[in-house]
Structure 1
Amino acid sequence: MDQQERMVEAILFASAQPVSVRDLAARLPAGCDPAEALAGLRRRYDGRGVTIERLGDGYAFRTAADLSFLMQTETVEQRRLSRAAVETLAIVAYHQPVTRAEIEEIRGVAVSRGTLDQLIEMEWVRMGRRRMTPGRPATFVVTEGFLDHFGLESARDLPGLSELRAAGLLESRPPDAGMAVPTIARDEDDDLDDGTPADDLFDDA
């Protein structure tokens, strides 16, 4: 293993968050090629107990997917999301960047501040760029933490509609044209915990 691979390996091992190629380049000595080092390391770790995974724009060490059962414990603390939060998260993931007004239009009901605050507090959703439209409304996008949690390289790897319906996460009726999630018509937002474990959102996808 050459020196630049050793340095990249050390940075990834010590980092609590995925590290981008740009961040690696800023930390490595001049003349190093972090992309080349990453490619070499990923080949070295391919098929081992830990691998180097791409998560959004960053890279991180992760347990090999087929060995995840070894990491399980008998007591697992599950974060639970309300139905409103699950629907809002799905809309952000599939329509990002999306404004609050657009979320409300798709859901057919007002989105309470607490719903978005919960998703932001969980670090699954963050503020995106403001739209260059009257009022310059803020947009919302999913975070690398969301991608990391569900093992996604990017939002393009999200399951399709048929997979979500098969998992029981969407109604079986066809959605309206151009819609990636069904419209939920209700008089007011439902922020009560409906017992949906956050970790189960895409388990069957």
Structure 2
Amino acid sequence: MSHPDDETGDVLRRHLRIVEALLFASTQPLRAAELVPYLGEGVDVDGLLVVLQRQYEGRGVNLVRRGEGWAFRTAEDLGFLLRREEHETRPLSRAALETLSIIAYHQPSTRAEIEEVRGVATGKGTLDLLMEAGWVRMRGRRRTPGRPVTYGTTEAFLDHFGLEQLSDLPGLDELKGSGLLSGRLPHDLQIPLPFDGALRDDEDPLDPSDMGDTELDDQEN
């Protein structure tokens, strides 16, 4: 006759194996809610993720959190081993890097607000490029005249730059030292607390026709 503790341990191990398999098979970070259908209601998915994360500490692959999602990633100290396998990609232009940095630190931001910080116009192509990369998304529309589109970062942005959450973003001095912000930006530029929630009180939801179309934003600014 099996002991209740043994049965509990077997269930835990089975659940951990399921979570492990799903995360390994996914190319994108998965949220706890996305794992529930495979485990059943009432299962402490968050607890399972924490247990699995501890099991992978110190190994060549770690379980990391990216926003609300979780994913297996190569341990940071072993990343150099995979660099030879990376495909050469065209680096982002300075305009794109500055725009991405401003959105990351000032989100939600409109195109006009980005231009105010940079001091120069931001072309439609720059925002398109960042959205095609999956790092920037349209969040909503600001409740101001013209109802301009607001932009924010994505979980793919956190994943690409190895951040668990926006609060892990480097400070202003580190940002300038890395070349992501140029010297022409205001010397007294302040870094606010970025907001990456659903919508703020001063934002309205996007219309279905807005998705994937930044031309509307161009016409309104």
Q: TM-score range by the shorter chain?
A: 0.7 to 0.9
**Candidates 11, 14, 21, aligned match of 1:10:** 21
- Does residue 139 in structure 1 map to residue 150 in structure 2? yes
- Does residue 67 in structure 1 map to residue 78 in structure 2? yes
CA distance in 2, matches of 1:171, 1:109: 12
Deviations 1:113-133 (A, max 9, x none): 111011111111111122233
CA distance in 2, matches of 1:82, 1:168: 11
Identity over aligned pairs, percent: 56
- Does residue 151 in structure 1 map to residue 162 in structure 2? yes
Q: Give RMSD over aligned pairs.
A: 2.2
- Please list, as runs of the form range in 1=range in 2, the aligned pairs for 1:39-50 lying within 5 A after superposition: 39-50=50-61
Query: CA shift at 1:173, angstroms?
Result: 8.4
Superposition TM-score, scaled by structure 2 size = 0.74
Query: CA shift at 1:10, angstroms?
Result: 1.3
Structure 1 residues 105, 175: CA separation in 2 closer, same or farther (over 3 Å shift)?
A: closer
Question: Number of residue pairs matched?
Answer: 181
**Candidates 76, 80, 93, aligned match of 2:104:** 93
**Candidates 161, 167, 178, aligned match of 2:178:** 167
Please state which structure has a larger fraction of its residues in helix. Answer: 2
Deviations 1:139-184 (A, max 9, x none): 1111111111110111211111111233344456894445349xxx
Aligned 8 A contact 1:4 1:33 in 2: no
Superposition TM-score, scaled by structure 1 size = 0.80
Tell me the amino acid that sits aligned with residue 108 of structure 1.
G
CA distance in 2, matches of 1:180, 1:46: 33
Structure 2: which 5+ residue stretches go unaligned? 1-11, 193-221
Runs of 4 or more off by more than 4 Å in structure 1?
A: 171-174
Q: Secondary structure at the match of 2:84?
A: coil
Structure 1: which 5+ residue stretches go unaligned? 182-205
Which structure has the larger Rg over C-alpha atoms? 2
Greater relative CO (CA pairs within 8 A, separation 6+): 1
